């Protein structure tokens, strides 16, 4: 296993420049939802020519550039070097940077097969875990960010990032990584000295003003059921002190599980869109929501990718374990452009809200499940476009009903619009990007295709038998017309 082939070379702390002042940001209601949620993890793999990936060269030349550019980047994102805290005098938790705080950065060397990590084919789910840094948390504080750089001698390297979801969402995390890679590439190409930090391009500068997020009450949201009450319901054996900041245990599912990436090409997606639209009117819709289910001219790649992948997962799970046949889907949408007035695209923090589709739990495993689920996702997105993203006031009760009814809930991580394959630190674009944290639930990870504009990558972790059946269903379904 990969963990037996890795050695920690160094464990250092990288701080913003000394001139960076103390700063803090209150968490909004968008952030508070994720306060004790498990961290989000991503790994970016990069190939390197042998001279650069030799340990002596990498550790003495490339690593210092990565560390220096990280420090310069933290000058613009100081909160990521800090911690989530909840002062006794504050009504809300804060993410706070105090001079002396730093990002934990582990540097490791791995003798495991680098090309095996780049392969999309199923492999042991535990293999990726050796490359992921731990995010510390306790009842009184939690790290915002942790990093690990792993060198595969004479092959390449990986940068893994673990983030606290209450501090930033996927868009903010991607903004930080693109800022870091941009500064690193600039330093690498210009060979500028460490005491002359390059400027950060405007497109990568974060926006911190919390005043653009209106209070929940002004948005028509009733959040009277606070997070501590929900924690008591769903995690009765955990510390449910309302101010406890320790992340809840969502252990990875790695024993007997496989991790793999599947690709839908642009041609695949076009075929799926045509197929779904050709059968659109054969699937019923909720009578109360019928106006949102009229047949559209086309469908988004997100809708058909999600519907197709999750139906294949549900059928594979059901095929291996026939008693598991009830599924639901919850996913988040970016609210920045949906707020009134719109929130800047570079807003730092969380600005996502959860949605739950109206599909019946049995829809995922029925014959025309892809059509039914695509129709449900499209209808929900159209509903919030017309009525507002907060139009569904019964999310918590619906979630509770699903849990009590034995419904297994699918989730989605990442996005095919983040552009993660553009994260170039100066030695080329990633050879692969994956979201290891999908192994903590029935979750798929989405990214744009590395090889083709318009394609989508789907990453997932499933029990080995389920994965084998999923692969057959996924590939076979693309051949049908």
Identify which of 26, 17, 93, 21 has the alpha carbon closest to the alpha carbon of residue 348.
Answer: 26
Which residues neighbour 13 within 8 Å (Cβ) at sequence distance 6 or greater? 102, 103, 104, 105
Single out the residue of 286, 50, 79 nearest to residue 151, CA to CA.
50
Which residue in 38, 72, 79, 165 is the catalytic one? Answer: 165
Catalytic residue selected from 154, 392, 424, 465: 424
**3-state DSSP of 223-244:** CCCCHHHHHHHHCCCCCCCCCC
Contact assessment for residue 358 and residue 304, using Cβ atoms and an 8 Å cutoff: no
Give dist(CA 53, CA 48) in Å, integer. 6
Question: In the annotation, is 165 catalytic?
Answer: yes
The Cα-based distances of 277 to 222, 286, 370, 468 in angstroms read: 37, 18, 11, 29
Q: From residue 366, how far is each of 294, 327, 356 by CA, in Å?
A: 21, 11, 19
Q: Are 67 and 14 in contact (CB under 8 A)?
A: yes
Any idea which residues carry the catalytic annotation? Answer: 165, 424
């Amino acid at each position: 296993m990969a963990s037996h082939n890795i050695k920690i070379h160094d464990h250092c702390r990288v701080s913003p420049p000394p001139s960076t002042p103390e700063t803090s940001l209150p968490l909004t209601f968008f952030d508070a939802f994720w306060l004790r949620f498990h961290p989000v993890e991503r790994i970016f793999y990069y190939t390197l020519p042998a001279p650069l990936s030799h340990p002596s060269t990498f550790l003495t030349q490339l690593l210092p550039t990565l560390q220096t550019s990280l420090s310069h980047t933290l000058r613009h994102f100081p909160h990521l070097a800090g911690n989530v805290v909840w002062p006794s005098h504050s009504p809300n938790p804060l993410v706070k940077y105090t001079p002396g705080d730093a990002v934990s950065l582990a540097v490791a060397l791995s003798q495991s097969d680098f090309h095996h990590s780049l392969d999309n084919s199923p492999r042991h789910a535990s293999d990726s875990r050796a490359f992921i840094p731990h995010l510390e948390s306790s009842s009184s504080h939690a790290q915002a960010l942790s990093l690990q750089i792993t060198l595969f001698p004479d092959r390449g390297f990986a940068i893994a990032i673990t983030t606290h979801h209450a501090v930033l969402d996927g868009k903010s995390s991607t903004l930080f990584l693109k800022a870091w890679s941009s500064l690193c590439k600039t330093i690498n190409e210009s060979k500028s000295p460490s005491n002359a930090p390059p400027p950060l391009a405007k497109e990568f500068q974060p926006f911190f003003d919390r005043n653009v997020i209106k209070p929940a009450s002004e948005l028509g949201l009733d959040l009277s059921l606070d997070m501590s009450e929900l924690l008591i319901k769903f995690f009765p054996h955990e510390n449910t002190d309302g101010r406890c900041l320790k992340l809840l245990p969502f252990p990875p599912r790695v024993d007997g599980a496989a991790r793999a990436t599947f690709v839908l090409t642009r041609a695949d997606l076009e075929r799926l869109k045509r197929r779904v639209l050709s059968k659109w009117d054969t699937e019923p819709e909720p009578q109360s929501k019928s106006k949102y289910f009229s047949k559209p001219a086309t469908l988004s790649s997100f809708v058909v990718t999600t519907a197709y992948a999750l139906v294949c997962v549900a059928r594979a799970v059901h095929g291996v374990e026939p008693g598991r046949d009830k599924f639901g889907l919850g996913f988040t949408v970016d609210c920045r452009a949906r707020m009134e007035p719109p929130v800047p695209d570079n807003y730092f923090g969380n600005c996502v809200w959860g949605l739950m589709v109206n599909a019946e739990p049995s829809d995922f495993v029925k014959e025309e499940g892809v059509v039914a689920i695509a129709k449900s996702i499209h209808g929900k997105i159209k509903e919030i476009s017309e009525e507002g993203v907060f139009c569904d006031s019964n999310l918590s009760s619906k979630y509770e009903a699903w849990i009590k009814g034995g419904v297994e809930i699918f989730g989605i991580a990442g996005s095919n619009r983040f552009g993660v394959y553009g994260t170039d630190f100066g030695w080329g674009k990633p050879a692969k990007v994956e979201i290891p944290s999908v192994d903590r639930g029935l979750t798929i990870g989405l990214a744009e295709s590395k090889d083709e504009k318009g394609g989508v990558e789907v990453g997932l972790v499933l029990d080995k038998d389920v994965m084998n059946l999923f692969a057959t269903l996924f590939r076979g379904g693309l051949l049908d017309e």
